[in-house]
Chain A
């Protein structure tokens, strides 16, 4: 398994897109931190960039990469290797390189300007988001044979998680405005890793005071150890379930 991961990572590095992505994150983070005089305000701006860019780049890059590796996968499948090994190596290679790119691009500036609990939470959630969206991309590629369809599905999934889901939540809130929706909202937020990450980080910042009663309920829940444990387990489930299901599908896929 280690060998294949090594080949995947060298191939991704040769591809240079990940390098550009790292440089972009570096430029964005440093400029955001130097624009704001208050580094915690800078962190807030960076948060918004990260929650859009990291999932988008991770899901699109991983989807296209897996489709382009069709030949590589075909070559390996006829060799004495377990399919599971091949698939998980591909996942590990992609997840590792995108996480490292995120860590260098956004993690290091954050550590320089804001090396506290909030900064660390942000780095951790950013890394987790990179891995989650690689996992979702692997699921999208294994389900569709057609490249254009698969990439389209990946874009739709990203749109869903970053825009549509919030619209859906707002709709729910308005429809059930007469009912106490704060507690169910906690459960609903677990269905979107981006929202979950946003809540996790915002609650560590002082701005959570501005989120009204829902914010208070969130703080009550996500502020506790149980709440933090809950959200991190939800994020880990977002990695484990897609990877598990995609591996199962890949095991019986015709190549």
Chain B
């Protein structure tokens, strides 16, 4: 569904992405793992068209995303740090998004309900705590029932209960045959979620394996141990 070929991006002297190529198919739940500053968020932003690669290209459903924008209709994106206009309320933001996407089919408001955001609709975005912001971001990402979900550190800042709710939701969406891309540092969480692992370091994509292969290769059952073994190697 998403194919990246030789994507390179440089910020000044720093090579954020160095010749990254990968293929993501639907029905998979892919974890993007790597140390801080390894280029995970840059890769995600390139897929979304927020960062324009210096060379290489990315295709979405066999169409180059450069100069295309309609493809984002099929993506739900939850940013690492959700930043919203300060003086808009949650209700305003939700309504604006619905207005912009203008989707005819039914909306998926599960997360709005399970995070009980309805009671907070009149709260201004600047007054929200980091966790509530994350909830709004998550609700927005799932709201339009997109075919691809891109979640950048989805559970960072969420309390355990909400984090469980979100995980269940991710699993449910994966079962429906959607492509889910997750970055996270909390590897123990990913154990029961992901089917494939992309490991990045210093802007390079080191490997892209299914989780079973990784377990077989390292001889570890737990993802956290397996990755630790890869990192120390």
Contacts and interface: CB of A to CB of B under 8 A. Distances in A.
A74 B85 CA distance: 10
B79 A78 contact: yes
B68 to A, nearest CB: 9
A72 to B, nearest CB: 5
Interface string A40-56: 00000000000000000
A11 B87 CA distance: 8
Counting chain A CB atoms within 10 Å of each CB, the highest count among B48, B52, B85, B97 belongs to: B85
Nearest to A69: B85
A3 B100 contact: yes
B48 A78 contact: yes
A80 B45 contact: no
A75 interface: yes
B105 interface: no
B52 A252 contact: yes
Contacts of A14: 87
Contacts of B75: 78
Contacts of A75: 83-85, 93
Nearest to B76: A78
Interface residues of B, number: 27
Contacts of A74: 50, 79, 83
Interface residues of A, number: 25
A7 B52 contact: no
Contacts, number: 61
B73 to A, nearest CB: 4
Contacts of A69: 85
A80 B50 contact: no
Interface string B69-98: 111110101010001111110000100110
B72 A71 contact: no
Contacts of A11: 85, 87-88
B57 to A, nearest CB: 14
Nearest to B137: A75
Main secondary structure of the interface of B (DSSP, over half): mixed
B193 to A, nearest CB: 22
A255 B50 contact: yes
Counting chain A CB atoms within 10 Å of each CB, the highest count among B49, B50, B77 belongs to: B50
Contact of A79 (B11, B86, B87, B101): B101
A92 B45 CA distance: 27
B186 interface: no
A80 B96 contact: no
Interface in B166-186: none
Given A3-B100, A71-B83, A71-B84, A79 B50 contact: no
Interface in B194-227: none
B79 A81 contact: no
B99 interface: yes
Nearest to A78: B77
A255 B77 CA distance: 15
B51 interface: yes
A68 to B, nearest CB: 8
B118 to A, nearest CB: 21
Contacts of A7: 96
24 contacts: A3-B99, A11-B85, A15-B87, A70-B83, A71-B85, A74-B50, A74-B79, A75-B83, A75-B84, A75-B93, A77-B49, A77-B50, A78-B50, A78-B75, A79-B100, A80-B72, A81-B72, A81-B100, A82-B69, A83-B69, A252-B52, A254-B11, A254-B45, A254-B52
The 4 closest A-B pairs by CB, nearest first: A71-B83, A80-B73, A80-B72, A72-B85
Interface of A: 3-4, 7, 11, 14-15, 68-72, 74-83, 252-255
Interface of B: 11, 45, 48-52, 69-73, 75, 77, 79, 83-88, 93, 96-97, 99-101
